[in-house]
Amino acid sequence: MLCCACCAPSSSPPSPSFLRPPVAPSGRSSRPQDSTRTFAASSPPAAASRALTQTDAGGEIIVLDSAGYGAVTIDKAVSIIAPAGVYAGITAASGDGIVVNAPGGNVTLRGLDINGTGTSLGSGILHQAAASLLVDNCTVSGFANDNAPASVVTGPTGIRILAGPVSIANSVVKNNGRGGISVHGTDGASILRVTISNSRMEKNGSPEGSARDAGLAVVAGALVTVKDSTTAGNFRGFMACGAGAPELGAILSIENSLVDRNVVGVFVGTNLGTCSVRVSNSTISDNSLYGIEQQGGSLVTSLGNNFVSSNAAAETFGATTAPK
């Protein structure tokens, strides 16, 4: 069951009994809505899409019952929230799980479990447009390798970000065949800004080594900051650039994070624009090929306070700068 609060004006709060009204088989409330326009929707997997069509811009969709819900495209400002203790599964055996295409709208996704069942060639979350996107306390897993040539830099990942700003917090992105999170900006006048905090990226990417095969791949055209996070067991842990000459540059800053047991820990490649990775107060350890890989003159820069140990090779930063 989903409860949809549309946030229409009300002179007085609705009675508690009306917050979860009876639900007809159609998924609509079986009694009239009052000025709060609060209603519920059921009958998964169609409930998520049905609830969205009945929710005003700026409203909330609250998941009341643990269940598997279907894929959904968000075209307006809205929050989809599963409270603690409620399992809200968005399953996409093919195609994208959640598409965000809400120009000018603020979108929040909280408490959702988005699963590609190991077969979907889409993305768990495909972010195309919004004034802002917050992904909080979500799990995105099981989206398959699209088997495109490694030279193809566009395409699905667990979370695919094509617009900003975006914040990802308290989330897990794991077991996605082509990559965990990818950030790809193409407009030099509007660089994407993404913040990732207190999150885990695990077992993402394939050894084909495309510009998306990483726990986090900052493909191009973005400023990305990662704080208090872990990337483990991926092909590359953290990655910036490597898309080639046609693409914009990118800057990735990593703070207070763990890069552990990947094939390559931290990677920086080359694009048309400047590419760099900056690392502070972080641990890079036990990566099976390289701890730090730097290509084409791009550098991974240390603030001088990192711990780098037990990697198979390449444990030296390209530059070290003092704190200011």
Give the integer Cα–Cα distance in Å for 138 and 109.
8
How confident is the model at residue 188, as a pLDDT?
85
- 8 A C-beta contact, residue 201 and residue 181: yes
How confident is the model at residue 243, as a pLDDT?
85
Long-range contacts: 30-34, Cβ < 8 Å, 24+? 34/10
Contacts of residue 147, defined as CB under 8 A and 6 or more positions apart, other chains included, come to none
How confident is the model at residue 153, as a pLDDT?
87
| DSSP H or E stretch at residue 116 | strand 112-120
How confident is the model at residue 206, as a pLDDT?
94
Tokens of 215: 């726990």
Contacts of residue 15, defined as CB under 8 A and 6 or more positions apart, other chains included, come to none
How confident is the model at residue 102, as a pLDDT?
98
- 8 A C-beta contact, residue 238 and residue 210: no
How confident is the model at residue 45, as a pLDDT?
60
How confident is the model at residue 31, as a pLDDT?
35
Q: Does domain 61-320 have CATH number 2.160.20?
A: yes
How confident is the model at residue 53, as a pLDDT?
86
How confident is the model at residue 307, as a pLDDT?
98
Give the integer Cα–Cα distance in Å for 99 and 134.
13
CA atoms within 13 A on the CB side of 84: 0
- Each domain of the chain, given as residue ranges in start order, spans 61-320
How confident is the model at residue 175, as a pLDDT?
98
How confident is the model at residue 64, as a pLDDT?
86
Tokens of 179: 């990559």
Give the integer Cα–Cα distance in Å for 154 and 182.
9
Read off φ and ψ for residue 311, nearest 5 degrees: -90, 155
How confident is the model at residue 35, as a pLDDT?
22
pTM of the model as a whole: 0.89
Give the integer Cα–Cα distance in Å for 283 and 273.
28
Question: In a structure prediction context, what are the per-residue pLDDT tens digits for the chain, which is 324 residues long?
Answer: 666 654 433 333 332 222 222 222 233 433 333 222 233 444 566 677 888 888 889 999 998 888 888 899 999 999 999 999 999 999 999 999 999 999 999 999 999 999 999 999 999 999 999 999 999 999 999 999 998 888 888 899 999 999 999 999 999 999 999 999 999 999 988 899 999 999 999 999 999 899 999 999 999 999 999 999 999 999 999 999 988 878 999 999 999 999 999 999 999 999 998 999 999 999 999 999 999 999 999 999 999 999 999 999 999 999 999 877
DSSP per residue, 199-262: -EEES---TT--TT-EEEEEEESEEEEEES-EEESSSEEEEE--SBTTS--EEEEEES-EEES-
